[in-house]
Amino acid sequence: MFKNFLGRFSKDIGVDLGTANTLFFVREKGIVINIPTVVAINTRTDQLLAVGLDAKRMMGKTPPHITVIRPVENGVVADFETCEKFVKHFIEKIHRESFTITPRPRIIVNIPLDITEVERKAVQDVILGAGAREVHLVEEPLAAAIGARVNLQESVGHMIVEIGGGKTSMAVISLSGIVNGQTIRTAGDELDNTIREYVRENFNIIIGQKTAEEIKIKIGSTLPLEEPLELKVKGRNLLTGLPKEFSINDNQVREAIKRPVRTLVDQVRLTVESAPAELVADLHESGILLSGGGALLRGLDALISKELTMPVKIVDDPLTTVVRGAGILLEDSVLLKEVESVGNIMLG
């Protein structure tokens, strides 16, 4: 009863709890927080030192008593306590300017397509422990499709591929449900890792995760570019142990990420081929939508379109598609009831 009373003064929130970034959407306000899912903890005092970009800047630079943690891995909660502190920090920040002493918001949060019951409960427990009175889970492809303004309630097939940091979710959708789909771990982080391996093997230089991500974003591509790109970066020489600057070009990056890109394209093809024949016919008309940060990799849409001979389109603002879908569901309780995943929890 008391929690329901407090809930009247709390703000409804949509959360995209991602491996790389977490976004918070507040009802009637829009996206208010978009921040790296990284936390810095002082292990001596168990104190939260930094979150988001400030914590990300500490990666690889901390003394032994400070640990930088990514509490979400491959789209699921990897560190329960840290993730709860992370989410609670931002729930309190969102309510800081209101009169709510103990916020108890209703929260919609996305989950991977193939999440286990244990992983599902971990997400629920994190959100409830962070202060929510009510938790609704929505599978990521559905949230992304809603965020892309796809009309899910019609009997027409649509396909969306959400390429995040730790995983890629892809699904064929019709009548507000997922007909077939899958989640694979080929995503942004794997592209970064293959770039690191390539640089180590071909340049004898070790680079960090942040540097690999910078290379991917600035000069990464899946198809040859009209104007070649090159980037100067620094790393540690394997032979001398000293810092060294080197140049890498777009052709070398394409070679580095060739294998995971091929895996991604093949799995998109498999998902299309596994759909019912009537829906495959729809997909050749409606095409495939790409969302998530990985959709911004140069030429990926053109490559998939060429390989599958189907139209492929990148959604508007692909980095925020999922949380915008959660935001729409905050306003549409009927659609939420149709698309929410089994196992949602309400307190009080």
The residues that bridge with 205 in the sheet, in sequence order, are 237
Is residue 35 part of an annotated ligand binding site?
A: no
Q: Pull the structure tokens for residue 221.
A: 């591509």
**Residue 296 marked ligand-binding:** yes
C-alpha span between 305 and 205 (Å, rounded): 35
- CA–CA distance from 65 to each of 47, 61, 62, 68 (Å)? 11, 12, 8, 10
Residue 217 assigned to a binding site = no
Q: Confirm or deny that 73 is annotated as ligand binding.
A: no
Q: Which DSSP symbol is given to 243? A: E
171 carries a ligand binding annotation: no
CA 210 to CA 113: how far, in whole Å?
27
Q: Is 229 known to sit in a ligand binding site?
A: no
Residue 258 is assigned to a ligand binding site: no
Q: Tell me if 249 is assigned to a ligand binding site.
A: no
The 345-346 sheet, strands edge to edge: 30-36, 21-26, 13-17, 106-111, 134-139, 345-346
In angstroms, the CA 125 to CA 140 distance is 18
Residue linked to tokens 């920090």: 89
Alpha helices in the chain (DSSP H): 2-7, 53-56, 80-94, 117-129, 140-147, 188-203, 209-219, 250-273, 277-286, 300-308, 321-331, 333-339
213 assigned to a ligand binding site: yes
Name the residue with tokens 């990926």: 300
Instruction: Return the structure tokens found at 59.
Output: 């990666």
Residues in the annotated binding site for ATP: 19-21, 213-216, 293-296
Going by the annotation, the residues of the binding site are 19-21, 213-216, 293-296
